[in-house]
Structure 1
Amino acid sequence: ANNERPAPPVFRGSDEIRDLAHAVTAMRRRLEERARLEDNVSLLTHEMKSPLAAIRGAGEILHDEISDPSLTRFTDNVIHESQRLCDLLDRLLAMARLEKLESLPARKRRVNIATLVEEWRRSRYGLLADKHLHVSVNDGTLQAEEETLTLALFNLLDNALRFANAETTLTVHVEGNALTVENIGPAIPDYALDRVTERFYSLPAPGHDKSSGLGLAMVNEIASLHGGSLALANTDNGVRSTLTIPQQEH
């Protein structure tokens, strides 16, 4: 507790007590190693954001100054890849914050899902327009911690957008304690259904870069923090994601 390195307790007597002491000491050391790793990852992630922003800024300046199409291709790549890395770092930091939470703050309230979907739609307007996608949502609310629910819904919608076929509709539906996001597109292979919520596991999407594999992992973590669950299933023509959050009784 005082940041000291205590020596393992020494017992003369029962083997069970001695075994327990060794087990507790081993557990403490493993927890310390995990905490150090998490702190180092968070520190490294923060430290990488500044140079990445500088690289992207330099790429944008060069892009404006260069007229040769063959060189412009390289500056476009610098800008694009540096933005991908920034997005990955943001997701790593968000995942680290979630994993450090033992429980959610006691400020759950009724959250209007249609309002959140509209906020997401405005922020992804260009991507939706590129694929000529529509978004459909019914009126409904969920009682949840708003910030983490927003993060979960945005990640579910981003995933649905990524794999949706062009000129189709993303459907968001709230009923009872369940929130579903459904798209029309390729099915999830059977071998991947149980793995898509693992960290860094991702499937290729036509026309897109490889994803970070953190989006659905974050949604799964948020569901767990709410005492709920996340389930993905193939439909006749796409994929349905269902986030279930137990509702408090009044």
Structure 2
Amino acid sequence: MKSASLRWQLSLWLLLPLLGLLALDAWLTDRRAMAAAHEAFDRTLAASLKAMREGISLRDGRVEVEVPYLALEVFDAEAGSRIYYEIRDETGATITGYPALPMPAQPVRALYRTQFYDADYRGEPVRMAAMPLPLHDVRSARTQLVWVLVAETTEPRAQLANDILMGSLLQELMLVSLALAIVWFGVRRGLRPLHRLSEAISARGPDDLQPLDAATLPVETQPLVNAVNQYVARLQRMVEGRKRFFADAAHQLKTPLAIIQAESELALRERELAGARAHLARLNSSVRQAAKEVEQLLSLSRLEPDSGYAPTLHRLRLGALAQAVALDWAPLARRDGVDLGFEGDVAEAGDAQDEIDGQPELLQELLGNLIDNAVRYAGAGAMVTVRVRGTRLQVEDNGPGIAPQDREPVFQRFYRGEASAARAGSGLGLSIVREIARLHGAAIVLGDTPGGGLTIALHFPPAGGEAA
């Protein structure tokens, strides 16, 4: 589906209201034009009534009418119009003229006052003027009221109003066309910054992820440029994350792969099964280490802020989860000669003191990394304790601990302090712990265990609470 042009959309949104205003103005102009035509032609009707009034008199009780030629010649120049007149007495009887001309709906009986109104006569619309005229007969001392009615068909009036309307519409159409041309030109010039922005982006190379310069662009384009820059920055971080992942994977797998290659070659040279089995055991250990490092790299890559990963949090009990993870790790710790224990009150139903919002799989991975580090670096004969108090999770050991100057960089990937240099490991465990804690809004604190060793404490926000 082809996208609509912004230029056309802006022009239409400006043109449609203009056309609506033009239609409204045409209606108003038509009303004004008809009112002006009535005003002009009503003067002619009034002049005709005045002329006819001079020819009406009362003699010996009889109404005599002599319609002067001047009374009707004023209408001769009006092509297409027809004139009707009637003189009737106060009883409604026609004295002369065209009978049954319509009277006003509400006759005004003010003497000598002309009343204009619209009516229908013989099936066609007419404009009428009516005047009550008192007649006085001096000889008989009598007075009689007559009505003088004059009607004109409305063709000339409609033609005049139509001429006024068409002239006004032509003028307004010219103005609207001119306004539309100005709007089109203005919209085109107004969209030039967007075209320049589009050309600047199109001219960039595939590896150019520098932010766009918005200094020369209008203020209205700033939100768009800022959004593009934010997206480009996220994209750049994602690209850098992918590059870092591949570089880390190559770095971490180089040593295990070299060991695997060497051990497999040595195993192939062995003639005795016992010697081959020794090489295969070391090869298997390297494969396990490589698999673990790949798994940690993938996990860390998925959890980094720029990956866009958002965990699905559920209401859970921290004590029950920690106890289950500690039980799973107990056989492995016992195999390495480490005493792994759990301390904490497992909450009963209805007790929400240790409830948090979390993703169980991630929290199990977090605690598993903490226990693995404690067992690995504390060494045989050490004690490792997993402790839960409310929403506080704590893993402590009585091993060599971590020097204060190493406690901040220890969360960086592949960082290994002096105490851990002699131990096997990848340096990714605490980096993963930090990312999982960040996703759950938990704060991490590294401290000393009383009597020696390391204590790692995590403070989780309570269920429904805010992040720490």
TM range (shorter): 0.7 to 0.9
Counterpart secondary structure, 1:196: helix
| Aligned position for 2:461 | 246
Equivalent of 2:378 in 153, 156, 164: 164
| Aligned position for 1:67 | 272
Structure 1 residue 84: Cα displacement = 1.8
Structure 1 residue 177: Cα displacement = 1.1
| Aligned position for 1:78 | 283
2:325 partner letter: L
Could you say if the C-alpha distance between residues 249 and 70 of structure 1 is closer, same or farther in structure 2, counting changes exceeding 3 Å?
A: closer
Structure 1 residue 42: Cα displacement = 6.3
1:234 aligns with 2:448: yes
1:77-156 paired onto structure 2 within 5 Å: 77-99=282-304, 100-111=307-318, 112=320, 113-122=322-331, 124=332, 128-130=334-336, 132-138=337-343, 139-140=345-346, 141-143=354-356, 144-156=358-370
Structure 1 residue 248: Cα displacement = 1.5
1:42-81, CA deviations, whole angstroms, 9 ceiling, x for partnerless residues? 6896xx99xx7xx69x949948x75277776654443333
Counterpart secondary structure, 1:148: helix
1:101-140, CA deviations, whole angstroms, 9 ceiling, x for partnerless residues? 4532132322412112111224x25xx323x221110243
* Alignment root-mean-square deviation, CA: 4.0
Structure 1 residue 160: Cα displacement = 0.6
Structure 1 residue 19: Cα displacement = 8.7
1:120 partner letter: W
1:232 & 1:184 partners in 2: Cα distance? 14
Structure 1 residue 244: Cα displacement = 1.4
Q: TM-score, normalised by structure 2?
A: 0.43
Could you say if the C-alpha distance between residues 41 and 206 of structure 1 is closer, same or farther in structure 2, counting changes exceeding 3 Å?
A: closer
Instruction: Judge conservation of contact 2:267–2:275 (CA < 8 Å) in 1.
Output: no
Of 159-168 and 181-190, deviating more is 159-168
Could you say if the C-alpha distance between residues 150 and 24 of structure 1 is closer, same or farther in structure 2, counting changes exceeding 3 Å?
A: same
Relative CO higher for 1 or 2, CA cutoff 8 Å, sep ≥ 6?
A: 1
| Aligned position for 1:205 | 420
1:145 & 1:101 partners in 2: Cα distance? 16
Could you say if the C-alpha distance between residues 13 and 109 of structure 1 is closer, same or farther in structure 2, counting changes exceeding 3 Å?
A: closer
Structure 1 residue 218: Cα displacement = 0.8
2:443 & 2:382 partners in 1: Cα distance? 27
Structure 1 residue 30: Cα displacement = 3.8
Could you say if the C-alpha distance between residues 175 and 75 of structure 1 is closer, same or farther in structure 2, counting changes exceeding 3 Å?
A: same
1:41 & 1:165 partners in 2: Cα distance? 32
- % identity of equivalent residues: 24
1:186-201 paired onto structure 2 within 5 Å: 186-201=400-415
Could you say if the C-alpha distance between residues 66 and 72 of structure 1 is closer, same or farther in structure 2, counting changes exceeding 3 Å?
A: farther
2:338 & 2:388 partners in 1: Cα distance? 20
Counterpart secondary structure, 2:283: helix
2:302 & 2:214 partners in 1: Cα distance? 37
1:137 & 1:12 partners in 2: Cα distance? 63
Provide structure 1 residue ranges, at least 5 long, that are not aligned to the other structure.
Answer: none
Structure 1 residue 240: Cα displacement = 0.3
1:36 partner letter: V
Counterpart secondary structure, 1:233: strand
| Aligned position for 2:153 | none
1:118 partner letter: L
Structure 1 residue 226: Cα displacement = 0.7
Provide structure 2 residue ranges, at least 5 long, that are not aligned to the other structure.
Answer: 1-197, 203-211, 347-353
Counterpart secondary structure, 1:167: coil
Q: TM-score, normalised by structure 1?
A: 0.75
| Aligned position for 2:235 | 32
Count, aligned residues: 236
2:213 & 2:435 partners in 1: Cα distance? 36
1:60 & 1:181 partners in 2: Cα distance? 42
Counterpart secondary structure, 1:96: helix
1:207 & 1:35 partners in 2: Cα distance? 34
Instruction: Judge conservation of contact 2:267–2:276 (CA < 8 Å) in 1.
Output: no
1:154 & 1:39 partners in 2: Cα distance? 26
1:199-226, CA deviations, whole angstroms, 9 ceiling, x for partnerless residues? 21123437622x2111111111111111
Largest Rg, 1 or 2: 2
Instruction: Judge conservation of contact 1:114–1:137 (CA < 8 Å) in 2.
Output: yes
